[in-house]
Structure 1
Amino acid sequence: MGYVLNTALLGLVILVFLLFRRQRLRQASVQSHGCEPAISHPTKEPFFGSDFQRSMYGHVPFLYRLHEQYGTTFEVRSWVSLPVVCTIATDNIKCVNTSKDFGVEPMRLPGLEYFCGQGFITTDGDTWYHSRKLLKPSFDISNISDLQFLKREVDRLVEDLPGDSSTVDLQPLLYVMFLNSALHFVLGVDPSSQPSSAPLTADEFVKSFHDALFYSMVRVVLGPVWKLLPQSKYKKTCSTAHSFVDYHIGQANEEDGTTKGKSLIRALNSQTNDPTFIRSQVIQAMMAAQDTTSELLTNALFLLARHPKYWAQLRLEFVGKQESDLLAGTLLESKLTQNILHETLRIHPIFPLLGRVALRDTQLPVGGGPHHDRPMFIPEGTTLVMGYYALHRNPEVFGSDIEVFRPERWDSIKPKQWEFLGFGSGHRACLGQQKALIEASYALARLSQAIEELTSADSGDWKGEMKLTCKSANGCKVKIN
């Protein structure tokens, strides 16, 4: 017993020594760079600040309220881990999104690599650049303008809608519609007509994909602790998802690649013959594509159902239009649909917060000192959290009525590059931005043609559910006439 106690005391002394030593080194660096610390937010759990982490990911407006209290930049310190710096200062957001001093690999790759390998979601530097370069041709406007597959999916959705004023939750219907579209775009898969030689059906792949992704995200959260838990179920789930992707990589190898509107897997296959690397890019593309457009449209319909005048405006613009009128370029030029989608992304961003980690000792241009105007020293390993939900509620940019859904505000406001980040910006700006806007615009136009009246069947406030992205926790319950 005495030995155990002495060992524990020795470990505590070493920990305290290391903490004080790190603090002295930090202070020396701060002084040498002329930096000042940011205002600090206290935590209830002092060792790791776990109460702050739970609130940040569990309640979307949490960071916004803290920014209202502390200003554009503050930090959260704990006894054991490095501080978390939270910022909505545009100079800092620009720095984090454009500097090579910040990245994602240390926080993502260890937990995600077994499932989705190395690619644009999990790596930095040359590997990230190579991955993004290979993916970029698939998002050329000529390749994302073909809406025939999405047309079929919208047709099916419209046929399934009730017309008797009964309540329907549009969220799961939109999710399935855009999931099928994503499978077609990424893998060239038509879920309704899978070949018998495939190792599993599209539905079975989706289930294994989601299970593997869930376990992978748990791995990210738990860090090294994950290694202490059983691994066999996780590895089997990953292997099942991998087999489906590997099968379609093989199918792409046998095709000549001349079909118009190539799938992403075929575009990758024409640029590299490394099947493991292709699989990694495909799975990461599915991770990025699976929810984003469906959540954007779900949130837009959630808001439109509560503001019927904008639904009436949509119908006025699109009722009577032929399918040949609903082209990608025309949809992107529709001021009404683009205003609605941008206002939706402002109020309910798909990524309400985005994290980066300092890859080396560096600094932020502002945020330090009582007036937030001094540079800040950022030690290697520090987590940076950019609160886009809070950023999009700046009354100086968007007007005093920031909580009001008012699409026409976009006729007069002109946010600068780092003031509105519906699709990110900088090195990691979303490659699929135009694709998401085109598809969401098309679906809005078609639904406005089919639905005369769209009214909300849910009196509760919108509530976010944070996972890989942020979706409506209560769905999108509406009545349709």
Structure 2
Amino acid sequence: MKVVRSDHASANQRLMSSASISKVSIDGPLDSMPPGPSESVLAQTIRFRLGRQHYLPEMHERFGDVVTLRVVPGGPFVILRNPDHIKEVFKGAPEIFHAGEGNSLLVPIVGRNSVLTLDAPDHKPARKRMMPPFQHERIAALSSVVREITENEVRSWPVGKPFRLLDRSYALTLDIIVRAVLGVEDKHRAAELGRVLRRVSDIGLSDILVWIRPQLGSVWPWRNVVRNLDRADELIYAEIARRRQDPNRSSRTDALSIMLDGEPEDEIVRDELMALLMAGHETTAVAISWVFERLLRHPEVLARVRRNLHEPKDPYRTAVFKEALRVRPVIHNVARRLTEPIELAGYRLPAGVAVLPSIGAVQSDPRFWGADAKEFRPERWLEPNPPLHAWLPFGGGVRRCIGAMFAQVEVEAVMTEVLRSVHIEAVDLDDEGSEMRNITMIPKQGARVRVVRRLGS
């Protein structure tokens, strides 16, 4: 099938757009900013980009709930730990607190029509357009597909041989995206699309250089980044064209078919699909790996989950999901770029500054979670009045992750199907540390496991 793309933005055009958007202009004095470290911009940037899970809590311990970091690109950043301050940001006027600008580095992948990169007034109608695939009854229909895909995935796991569960989780969630979200049923097309989308989403630190300096796109290795983006575009536009011509489209339940109601432009659909890829593939895969990393090191928790696998809904299973995301946050912070000066936490912040709610720091703060704040204890979610205001894995306000419910259903379905199918154990007895990968915080060893035996066979 030939795809005409003359009216679609190319990868190079998106790179140029990203580079221009990500240039920060501070409109106002910085002398009233909150305190922060005296290290060089380079030192702060390296520590923030490569180890913020350790760096940000350390900065809060030194300077308090509000800290200024001088980080490039995009800084200075004002890091927030107090839920009251974070609530002000999440509930603030969307015209002032721009999350799209905070995500501007994602433009080369998700484009300018994505809910991740749009700001007021364009964000609200785009988000409304994205809501139908995530209605409760449609999520319930997708959950059966998730279980089927998980069963097939687990059959490929070797018995007795260690492997990185994170890698298999990436493959699993990408398969779910391609089949349940994009609705691609042809195995050959699904395989090629999966391979290309994985290359696009597998962002290395060096890849980001071409987003900041688009002229690098003509030379190796950044030339491959641009080629992968262009190939992904070609395949996605082809799927959009096929679905438009599908006479049975109105009866399909995949997100792509639902998105085409109202006949939006191809480029808008493309950007929305790529946003779902970025928001629903890597982050969910990392969440799955952390759930099992925690479960397999807490045998009493694992045994309790196993006892209720026959239940379609188990509050304790949900508690495990919430607690794993609390103690091992997939995303350590979100960002809002100020379009106007504001007063926050007693400081005058000028326009252009980015404020970053520190999810990881809030979710491990003993003021809200008690003396055992760093312990993995799912039972806390079954106790009266858990501090929901200090649990922020999906962000908050009008920018809260649109797929939060689907992510929870997906992770719990995967947890259930894996534990029904195999008996697995952690390869390493010690807790796995975490490290930054792209925008996510992953298990340092990839959540290494082995299958001890298959069940029910």
Q: Shorter-chain TM-score: what band?
A: 0.7 to 0.9
The equivalent of 1:229 in structure 2 is 216
The amino acid across from 1:350 in the alignment is V
Change (3 A) 1:211 1:472: closer
Give the whole-Å Cα distance in 2 for the aligned partners of 1:190 and 1:81. 41
- Distance apart, 1:108 and its partner CA: 3.5
Match of 2:167 among 165, 168, 172: 172
- Distance apart, 1:382 and its partner CA: 0.5
**After superposition, where does 1:117-156 map in structure 2 within 5 Å?**
117-146=112-141, 147-156=143-152
TM-score, normalised relative to structure 1: 0.79
Given that 1:269 and 1:278 are in contact with CA atoms closer than 8 Å, whether structure 2 keeps it comes out as yes
TM-score, normalised relative to structure 2: 0.83
- Distance apart, 1:389 and its partner CA: 0.7
The amino acid across from 1:282 in the alignment is L
Given that 1:359 and 1:381 are in contact with CA atoms closer than 8 Å, whether structure 2 keeps it comes out as yes
Given that 2:196 and 2:228 are in contact with CA atoms closer than 8 Å, whether structure 1 keeps it comes out as no
1:407 aligns with 2:399: no
The equivalent of 1:205 in structure 2 is 196
**What is the CA deviation profile of residues 214-249 of structure 1, one whole-angstrom value per residue up to 9, with x for unaligned ones?**
7874345x3xxx145344725433221111110011
1:90 aligns with 2:83: yes
Given that 2:293 and 2:432 are in contact with CA atoms closer than 8 Å, whether structure 1 keeps it comes out as no
Change (3 A) 1:414 1:424: farther
**After superposition, where does 1:30-109 map in structure 2 within 5 Å?**
37-38=33-34, 40-45=35-40, 49-59=41-51, 60-76=53-69, 83-99=76-92, 100=94, 101-109=96-104
Sequence identity, in percent? 18
State the number of aligned residues: 419
Change (3 A) 1:263 1:109: same
Match of 2:349 among 378, 387, 391: 378
**After superposition, where does 1:347-358 map in structure 2 within 5 Å?**
347-358=327-338
Give the whole-Å Cα distance in 2 for the aligned partners of 1:423 and 1:228. 35
1:252 aligns with 2:239: no
Change (3 A) 1:81 1:270: closer
Given that 2:174 and 2:198 are in contact with CA atoms closer than 8 Å, whether structure 1 keeps it comes out as no
1:427 aligns with 2:427: no
**What is the CA deviation profile of residues 336-392 of structure 1, one whole-angstrom value per residue up to 9, with x for unaligned ones?**
11110110010111111112211122221x2xxxxxxxx221101102121111100
Question: What SS does structure 1 have at the residue aligned with 2:373?
Answer: coil
Question: What SS does structure 2 have at the residue aligned with 1:296?
Answer: helix
Give the whole-Å Cα distance in 2 for the aligned partners of 1:104 and 1:121. 7
Given that 2:432 and 2:443 are in contact with CA atoms closer than 8 Å, whether structure 1 keeps it comes out as no
Match of 1:218 among 209, 212, 220: 209
Given that 2:432 and 2:444 are in contact with CA atoms closer than 8 Å, whether structure 1 keeps it comes out as no
- Distance apart, 1:194 and its partner CA: 3.0
**What is the CA deviation profile of residues 124-146 of structure 1, one whole-angstrom value per residue up to 9, with x for unaligned ones?**
01222122111101100111112
Change (3 A) 1:139 1:394: same
Give the whole-Å Cα distance in 2 for the aligned partners of 1:94 and 1:447. 37
Larger deviation, residues 142-151 vs 403-412: 142-151
Give the whole-Å Cα distance in 1 for the aligned partners of 2:75 and 2:198. 37
Change (3 A) 1:209 1:110: closer
The amino acid across from 2:61 in the alignment is E
- Distance apart, 1:451 and its partner CA: 2.9
Change (3 A) 1:421 1:257: farther
Match of 1:300 among 288, 291, 299: 291
The amino acid across from 2:227 in the alignment is K
- Distance apart, 1:250 and its partner CA: 0.4
Match of 2:341 among 341, 349, 361: 361
Question: What SS does structure 2 have at the residue aligned with 1:272?
Answer: coil
- Distance apart, 1:406 and its partner CA: 1.0
User: Based on CA coordinates, which of the two structures has the bigger radius of gyration?
Assistant: 1
Question: What SS does structure 2 have at the residue aligned with 1:290?
Answer: helix
